[in-house]
Amino acid sequence: MATKKIERAGVGFGIGRQSGPIVIETRLHHETISALRGVQVDFELLNGITLEQAGKILGVLNENVVSVVVTTALDVKTEAASG
């Protein structure tokens, strides 16, 4: 039987560009989500999106998204053995 582990972290967004389309980068305020340690999540925008349009998208995200929520399944047997 599996239980769920829910972790949250505050998040902000930034614009990046890596030899191609513009990307929206996620920027966690703290590394409190174990499943995301060492992981960078970016959102690649459509090729036609301008830097100005990307800035508007970025503004909306930063004004309205306050955190990232990650739910992972935990194996109860593993938890009992380690606890």
pLDDT at 82: 56
The percentage of the chain sitting over the pLDDT mark of 90, rounded to a whole number, equals 61
DSSP 5-38: EEEEEEEEEEEEE-SSSEEEEEEESS---GGGTT
DSSP letter at 39 equals -
Neighbouring C-alpha atoms within 13 Å toward the C-beta of 63 = 6
Cβ–Cβ under 8 Å, residues 20 and 45: no
Per-residue pLDDT band at 69 (split at 50, 70, 90): very high
pLDDT, tens digit, for every residue of 18-58?
778 899 999 998 888 888 888 999 999 999 999 999 999 99
Q: How large is the average pLDDT for residues 68-74?
A: 91
pLDDT at 13: 97
pLDDT at 22: 94
The distance from CA 53 to its chain's CA centroid, rounded to whole angstroms, is 21
Record the pTM.
0.76
